[in-house]
Amino acid sequence: MSKIKILDPKIQNKIAAGEVVERPSSVVKELVENSLDAGATEIQVNIEESGMKEIRIIDNGEGIEADDAKLLFERHATSKINDDYDLFQIRSLGFRGEALASIGAVSKVTLETLNEDSEPVKIQYDGGTETSSEPGRARVGTDITIRELFFNTPARLKYVRSLRTEAGKVIGIIQRMALNYPDVSFRLMIDGKEKLRTSGKGDLKAVIADIYGINIARLAVPVEASSPDFHVSGYLIRPEVTRSHRNFINLSVNQRFIKNFRLSQSVIKGYHTLQPKDKYPIAVINIDMDPKIVDVNVHPAKTEVRFSKESDLNQLVEDTVRKALRSETLIPDVEKKP
Residues of the shown chain interacting with ligand ADP in the complex, contacts defined by CB under 6 A: 30, 34-35, 38, 59, 61-64, 72, 77-80, 94-101, 142
**By beta-carbon distance, which residue lies closest to ligand ADP?**
94
At closest approach, how far in Å is the CB of 159 from ligand ADP?
23
Q: Among residues 13, 25, 26, 34, which is the contact residue for Mg ion, using CB under 5 A?
A: 34
CA distance 28 to 21: 9
CA distance 260 to 177: 17
Contact (CB, 8 A) for 144 and 125: no
Q: Between 34 and 260, whose beta carbon lies closer to Mg ion? A: 34
At closest approach, how far in Å is the CB of 130 from ligand ADP?
15
Contact (CB, 8 A) for 286 and 252: yes
Q: Between 98 and 210, whose beta carbon lies closer to ligand ADP? A: 98
At closest approach, how far in Å is the CB of 117 from Mg ion?
21
Residues numbered 227 to 286 that lie near Mg ion (CB under 5 A) are none
CA distance 161 to 52: 8
- If binding is defined by CB under 5 A, does position 94 make contact with Mg ion? yes
Q: Which residues of 278-312 are buried (b: 16+ CB within 10 A; e: fewer)?
A: ebbbbbbbbbebebebbebeeebebbebebeeeee
At closest approach, how far in Å is the CB of 183 from Mg ion?
20
Of 6-14, 98-106, 250-258, 297-305, the window that binds Mg ion (rule: CB under 5 A) is: 98-106
Q: Between 79 and 227, whose beta carbon lies closer to ligand ADP? A: 79
Q: Between 37 and 318, whose beta carbon lies closer to Mg ion? A: 37
Q: Between 16 and 321, whose beta carbon lies closer to Mg ion? A: 16
Helices (H) and strands (E) in the chain, counts: 11, 15
- If binding is defined by CB under 5 A, does position 123 make contact with Mg ion? no
At closest approach, how far in Å is the CB of 20 from ligand ADP?
9
**By beta-carbon distance, which residue lies closest to Mg ion?**
94
Handedness of CA 183, 184, 185, 189 (dihedral sign): negative
Across the strands, what pairs with 124?
Answer: 110, 132
Q: Between 34 and 44, whose beta carbon lies closer to Mg ion? A: 34
Sheet-wide strand order for 249-253: 220-226, 230-237, 283-289, 249-253, 256-257
CA distance 53 to 50: 7
Alpha-carbon distances, residue 327 vs 110, 235, 322, 323, 332 (angstroms): 53, 13, 9, 6, 9
27 binds, among Mg ion, ligand ADP, none (CB under 5 to 8 A by kind): none
38 binds, among Mg ion, ligand ADP, none (CB under 5 to 8 A by kind): ligand ADP
286 binds, among Mg ion, ligand ADP, none (CB under 5 to 8 A by kind): none
Q: Between 61 and 234, whose beta carbon lies closer to ligand ADP? A: 61
At closest approach, how far in Å is the CB of 97 from Mg ion?
8
289 binds, among ligand ADP, Mg ion, none (CB under 5 to 8 A by kind): none
The pairing of strands 185-190 and 42-48 is: parallel
| C-alpha count within 13 angstroms, C-beta hemisphere, residue 33 | 24
Interface residues with Mg ion (CB under 5 A) are 34, 94, 99
